[in-house]
Amino acid sequence: MKLLIPLAVMIGAYFYRHKLAQEWKFFRARRKEWFYDKWKNWGEPFLIAAVLALLIRTFLLGPYKIPTGSMRPTFLEGDRIFVDKLSYRFHSPARGDIVVFKYPLDKKKDFVKRLAGLPGDHVEIRDGKLIVNGKTLEGSPFGDHYYYNREDWEFAKEGLRIEVPAERYFVLGDNSAQSSDSRNWGFVPKKNMIGKAFFIWWPPKRVKLVK
């Protein structure tokens, strides 16, 4: 591997030796014009592309990597996803959305879960089912998963009916047995929401839109 880079440079220099010689003459004869030419043809387009990429990543579309199996089978460990950061600027998150948010106990970490409870909802987990406002959620996506009660978690006790506070959300992992979520550490503030996960772009065999 150490020899490949110098070898590639040597091969490139050989095939482009005439172009390099012309560039060297241009540089020696008219340095200011040479620098201006390189800026207009290389520097300026690169800078514009870098700024656009930064704006897109910050405000429109963000790539994330799935680190754990808490969202199996929707996401697998190592999946790389795109997150829509724009939509929630125009409307509130909806129940069933797969949301990316800043972890309430450590805002340096980003978590991915499914939104189960909206502000004002009453949420209960009973016999593996999710019950919201007295109605059992059947069918996809919630009916596809079994949700576990846990007596050692504050919001996962059997028979507990939770009211989601204003400006807060209740989130759950699809792989309930291996997910630390709102059952454990509580609610996600609205201000912590980053966006909605909607697309797996890596690995190639997993590329697809997600619901």
Phi, psi of 122 (to 5 degrees): -110, 120
Contact 102, 110 (CB under 8 A): yes
| Strand ranges (E), the chain | 61-65, 80-84, 98-102, 110-117, 122-126, 129-132, 135-136, 162-163, 168-172, 188-189, 193-202, 208-209
Q: Which of 2, 19, 65, 70 is catalytic?
A: 70
- Let me know if 92 is a catalytic residue: no
- Let me know if 182 is a catalytic residue: no
- Residue 180 C-beta-side C-alpha neighbours within 13 Å: 7
User: Residue 22 and residue 17: Cα distance in Å, rounded?
Assistant: 9
Residue recorded with tokens 């009211």: 163
Q: Which of 25, 108, 109, 113 is catalytic?
A: 113
What are the C-alpha distances in Å from 143 to residues 96, 116, 126?
11, 12, 13
Catalytic residue annotation? 70, 113
